[in-house]
A and B are shown apart, each in its own frame.
Chain A
Amino acid sequence: MAKSARQAQVEKAALYPLDWVEERTGLVGYTKWFLFRNVPRDVNWMQTLGAATLTAFIVQAVTGVFLAMYYKPDPNSAYDSIQNITHEVTLGWLVRGMHKWGASLFIILMFLHMARTFLFGAYKYPRELNWIIGVLLLVTGMAEGFTGYLLPWDQTAYWATVVGININATAPFLGPFIAQFLQGGAQIGPDTLAKFYSLHMLVLPGGLMAMIGLHMYLVVRLGVTSPPWSKVAAGRPRDEAAPSGYGEYREGLIREHEGEES
């Protein structure tokens, strides 16, 4: 069936900006490589847990950035600034609530995602490195939880952090050094709160983002696993999953017609 002139015109108009960007950056091809992938026919809802964890992380990042605009990491004003966010600032209660409850959700989702990966055997060859990166993400995520817990600077926060730091101190050999680094001196003092704030919103999220990028790159490169009960034959040759060059990226963006020219 031949394309009508009008259809061809619309197609050309739609593709022109994409062509323009692709010719100059190659980004359209990369995006397509990243998003438009083949997955096994029998994927499971459980395999959305990773994306759910990513969503929870993005919620934490966005709400955290905005909370940082109102929070004051100083022992004399931290508690009051949290009270101000919760009771005075418009919608502050909502954003702080999202960050607070989202933190628990993020940790829970990480564990569920990890359990899914374990039970599906998705950590096996060739995905071992991605499991290791995932474990580092879990540890860093929990460090986020630990450092974030001090920031409200109330009694619960203070004493939970005292206990947490001292648990670190009981580790053999280097434990006391870790504890002293964490509290920024021999005692919990004015520097401890600022240090935890810096770790919580700069150091650890930076590490998380870098590792999430690597994690997802490997997911795309290695593909999604079938569930263990899959009937689809394993070991069949994989499609070449490299980024496509200029020109090929159009494939699949717009429904192709049979007998089309060029």
Chain B
Amino acid sequence: MSDKPDDTPDAPGHSLWPVGFAIGVACILVGLVISWPAALVGAALTIVFGVLWIRDASRSHAPVDSAPAHELMGDTPSPGLAAAEEEHLETYGRAGFLTLATIGLGGVIGAGVVLPSLGFAVLPSFTGEGVATNDVDLGPITNFPEGTFVITTFIGNKLQGKVSKRTAYIRNNGLAGGKDPSFTIIYSRCVHLGCPVQPNGPKFEDKTVKYKDVTLTPVQPAGFGCPCHGGAYDTEGNRTAGPPVRSLDRYAFSIVDGNLVLGKHFSVGTVEGEGKDAKIQRYPVAYPGVHVDGIEKWLYPLPVPGA
């Protein structure tokens, strides 16, 4: 823009604003992990120093005042001409105003169209729409013989139909403490990358029981194995081999009118003990492959809304 006589590069001068800008960005990143207020302070710093930086940079690129050039050339413009020139030296002429107005109005109109559309494309995934709120009725608890696993397939969400067909491995542990019924309900999806784990042991398909959409097949697993990448688990869902990063997910349950009703799906760190005496480290449901405990959980600091 500036017509410099020499060939020196048009580099910006030294400025401390980029340093402040960088500190602001660092504050945002650290704040994301540690606390939201820190992130907000970082954002404020970033904006302030960004504006200062831009102002600085644009000032050093401003067009050179043309008046000295006239003096150098020894021009002595007539008073009327000088007055006319004065008028042309205003900061924003008509063209500049129209350009900015067009860009600004176009930007506003564009944002008015693009932002709602983008929101429509992205936000519904995070509002929890389509997450099953209806608890699944798995039938009378007498269908679950004590001490054996039952392969239970069910429709997770009736509105969605077959695409929400899921499998859980359910074991009736009898009465915990002599009064409350206890069930181990393991979700079949591998916590490595989500393939369906299989029970390693004989299935008793001749003893299959059906209840509405639910199919119950007794099985006698020594553990669970994933066919995709070789993840292996024991009968409590603890990892025994392979790439999984935590124990198999589970479902909470309740008993309504003598029927076993599936509750909330949750993730599990590790399980100590067995059956009705098991101590389960519960965590909010996480994607397969996502650490819920240990140092690696800091890689996933942000809870996903609508999960």
Contact = CB atoms under 8 A, between A and B. Distances in A.
Contacts of A190: 130, 160-161, 163
Contact of A185 (B125, B286, B299): B125
Contacts of A172: 299-300
B171 to A, nearest CB: 24
A183 B304 CA distance: 13
Contact of B228 (A159, A173, A176, A191): A159
Interface size class of B (residues with CB under 8 A): 20 to 34
The secondary-structure label for the interface of chain B is loop
Given A75-B161, A169-B287, A177 B130 contact: no
Contacts of A191: 124, 130
Given A163-B194, A173-B301, A184-B125, A76 B130 contact: no
A180 B126 contact: yes
B162 interface: yes
Name which of B130, B286, B287, B307 has the most chain A CB atoms within 10 A of its CB.
Answer: B287
Nearest to A184: B125
Nearest to A183: B125
Interface in B3-58: 32
A173 B300 contact: yes
Given A163-B195, A169-B288, A185-B306, A76 B161 contact: yes
B113 interface: no
A186 B194 contact: no
B129 interface: yes
Given A163-B195, A172-B300, A180-B304, A185 B287 contact: no
Given A180-B306, A180-B307, A186 B131 contact: yes
The bracket for how many chain A residues form the interface is: 20 to 34
Interface string B191-235: 001111000000000000000000000000000000010000000
Interface of B: 32, 122, 124-126, 128-131, 156-157, 160-164, 193-196, 228, 285-290, 299-302, 304, 306-307
Interface of A: 75-76, 159, 162-163, 165-167, 169-170, 172-177, 179-181, 183-191
